[in-house]
Amino acid sequence: MNPSDSDASRFRSVPTDRRGERDLDDLLIHVARGDQIAFETLYDRLAGPVYGVIRRVLKDPSQSEEVAQEVLLEVWRTAARFNPALGGAATWVMTIAHRRAIDRVRSVTAAADREHKIAEVDTPHDEVAEAVEASLDAERVQRCLGGLTEIQRESITLAYYGGHSYRQVAELLNVTLGAVKTRIRDGLIRMRDCLAVS
Amino acid sequence: MKLFRRDLHSLSGAYALDALDQGAESERFARHLDRCPSCASEVRGFAEVATALALAATTEPPPELRDRVLAAAALTRQLPPEVTSRARSHRARGRARIRVPWVPWLSGVVATAAIVVAVLFGFAQAHTDQELNQARAQNQAIALVLSAPQVKLLTHATTKGGVATVVLAADRHEMVVTTNGLPALPAGKVYQLWLIGTTKTVSAGLLPAATSGQTGPVLASGVVQGDMLGLTVEPAPGTAKPTTTPILSLPLPV
């Protein structure tokens, strides 16, 4: 898979190349009908992002592999529940992947977090640098992240890549709950606009 | 905790990043989305940003994961397109109401659209009440195979072109076979299916005439361990034993 030709297509608001997105939607619809060849193609296109996001949240490679397998199998099993009218296939799959990673991290660390108030955490900036590969897509995401205020960027990356709840983010950044909610939302609005015009 | 409506709106970002506390808070916001189309739309936009963040984190998975996932998928029954109570926990876009299949007893269908279409042909070709009843009985038997808890879906090309699709319900020792794109036969010839066992070979029926390249489903019973599915070209109306080289020999994992 060439990452650069599928990415521009992911945003419905991007007028240029939407072919890749439609392809992915079509693939998933075929998967829903039991088409195993379509599932292989879907795997080749989305296993990297699925594994990547889970790995970012969970860190541990073997746990990540286990959760990625669960997620990809869940995609096969529940493909009929995908409705292209409500969002693209990549988003549907990535939502499942991130949810599963979060479920895992919170079930494992919930008790410890409550006791230790999250003593240690990677700095948000390193998180971003580590996440971003030398591809056009990743560069664009990084550029858009770079356009956020520091607290917006930290709130978003701690929540999404760090797998923290917004309450935990507030504690980590030592700001109020209301501030975190607003920063995340404002930051996402800015990201959305930035990604759409790129 | 009582939240004002405006506060609830401001949770859309945290919700889209799965950063609400699981349980009550997340569910409360999900319910709010049902009543707030503009919030639902905003969350959908944010979910696309989250997707971009996920894609930016792309990491090559271990190569062995591919085989494991594909093998597991081949053995995993897929859910039919209908709404369950679990939908509540999904986001707005995951809560799609998808039309339930047209025939109630097919709602558990695992298998390919090919077979569903083929089942319909069975009805279309029935002209008399008796034929209709036969089609109905046949379809119910097929539906039992398709909705068995554990089925395996096998597809394989024949040596003459075209593909055979098999839904195998190992615990029922039954399977349903359809084909697509087999070459047309001259008059006086038929396609015949066989269960080729370790000690004996028995006929599993003739393929019906194709409609638009597709043959209707054939139900075969008595599949046992070690059987292979064979397909041969035979003189009409079929033979007791295969007389030509099979154009398909497919092991049946019972």
CATH of the domain at A137: 1.10.10.10
- What is the reported pLDDT for A143? 93
| pLDDT band, residue B131 (cuts 50/70/90) | low
Does residue A96 sit in the same domain as residue A141? no
Size of interface A-B (CB pairs under 8 A): 218
- Cβ separation of A86 and B94 shorter than 8 Å? yes
Segment among A9-18, A51-60, B218-227, B242-251 with least mean pLDDT: A9-18
Interface of B with A in 91-110 (CB under 8 A): 91-94, 96, 98, 110
Side chain identity at residue A53, one-letter code: V
- Cβ separation of A95 and B96 shorter than 8 Å? no
Does residue A175 sit in the same domain as residue A95? no
Highest mean pLDDT: which range of A27-41, B138-152, B160-174: A27-41
Neighboring chain A residues of B79 at a CB cutoff of 8 Å: 77-78, 80-81
DSSP annotation of A139 reads H
- What is the reported pLDDT for B221? 82
Helix H or strand E encompassing A152: helix A150-160
**Core vs surface per residue B148-157: b (16+ CB within 10 A) or e:** beebbbbbee
Question: What are the residue ranges in chain A where pLDDT is below 50?
Answer: 1-19, 111, 113-134
Q: Chain A closest CA to B11's CA: distance in Å?
A: 6
Does residue A4 sit in the same domain as residue A66? yes
Does residue A97 sit in the same domain as residue A174? no
Give the residue from B102, B99, B100, B98 showing the smallest Cα distance to B116: B102
- What is the reported pLDDT for B89? 40
Side chain identity at residue A190, one-letter code: R
Does residue A9 sit in the same domain as residue A103? yes
A102, two tokens: 């979060």
Side chain identity at residue B134, one-letter code: Q
Alpha helices, H only, chain B: 5-9, 12-16, 24-35, 37-56, 64-74, 113-124, 129-146
Give which of A21, A133, A185 to mutate to test B binding, by max B Cβ within 10 Å. Answer: A185
pLDDT averaged over every residue in chain B:
77
- Cβ separation of A47 and B57 shorter than 8 Å? no
Does residue A81 sit in the same domain as residue A137? no
Alpha helices, H only, A8-118: 19-32, 36-58, 61-78, 89-116
Strand partners of residue B219? B176
Range of the domain at A40: 1-111
Give which of B41, B53, B95 to mutate to test A binding, by max A Cβ within 10 Å. Answer: B53
Q: Is the dihedral of CA B67, B72, A7, A182 positive or negative?
A: negative
Side chain identity at residue B126, one-letter code: A
Does residue A81 sit in the same domain as residue A170? no
Side chain identity at residue B39, one-letter code: C
Last residue of a domain, one of A64, A81, A111: A111
Torsion of CA A175, B47, B72, B144, to 10 degrees: 130
Q: Which of B10, B19, B110 sits opposite A165 (nearest CB)?
A: B19
Question: Kind of pairing, strands B228-235 and B189-196?
Answer: antiparallel
Last residue of a domain, one of A66, A87, A111: A111
Non-local (6+) Cβ contacts of A35 within 8 A are B112
Does residue A89 sit in the same domain as residue A180? no
Give which of B17, B46, B98 to mutate to test A binding, by max A Cβ within 10 Å. Answer: B17
| pLDDT band, residue B91 (cuts 50/70/90) | very low
Q: How many other CB atoms are there within 10 angstroms of residue A9's CB atom?
A: 19
- Cβ separation of A192 and B110 shorter than 8 Å? no
- Cβ separation of A39 and B73 shorter than 8 Å? yes
Strand partners of residue B195? B202, B229
Q: What's the CA gap between B238 and B243, in Å, rounded?
A: 10
- Looking at per-residue confidence, does A56 or B203 come out higher? A56
Q: Chain A closest CA to B153's CA: distance in Å?
A: 8
- What is the reported pLDDT for B212? 73
Highest mean pLDDT: which range of B28-37, B109-118, B172-181, B218-227: B28-37
Cβ atoms of A77 and A70 within 8 Å: the answer is no
Q: Chain B closest CA to A92's CA: distance in Å?
A: 8
Does residue A76 sit in the same domain as residue A122? no
Mean pLDDT (whole number) for B184-197: 90
Give the residue from B252, B184, B189, B250 showing the smallest Cα distance to B221: B252
| pLDDT band, residue B88 (cuts 50/70/90) | very low
ipTM surpasses 0.85? no
- What is the reported pLDDT for B80? 82
Does residue A88 sit in the same domain as residue A73? yes
Interface of A with B in 88-107 (CB under 8 A): 88, 90-92, 94-95, 97-99, 102-103, 106
Last residue of a domain, one of A68, A95, A111: A111
Interface of B with A in 32-91 (CB under 8 A): 44-62, 65-66, 68-70, 72-74, 76-81, 87, 91
Q: What is the CATH number of the domain that holds A103?
A: 1.10.1740.10
Neighboring chain B residues of A95 at a CB cutoff of 8 Å: 47, 50-51, 91, 94
Q: What is the pTM of this model?
A: 0.56
Q: How many domains does chain A have?
A: 2
The verdict on B1 touching A (C-beta cutoff 8 Å) is: no
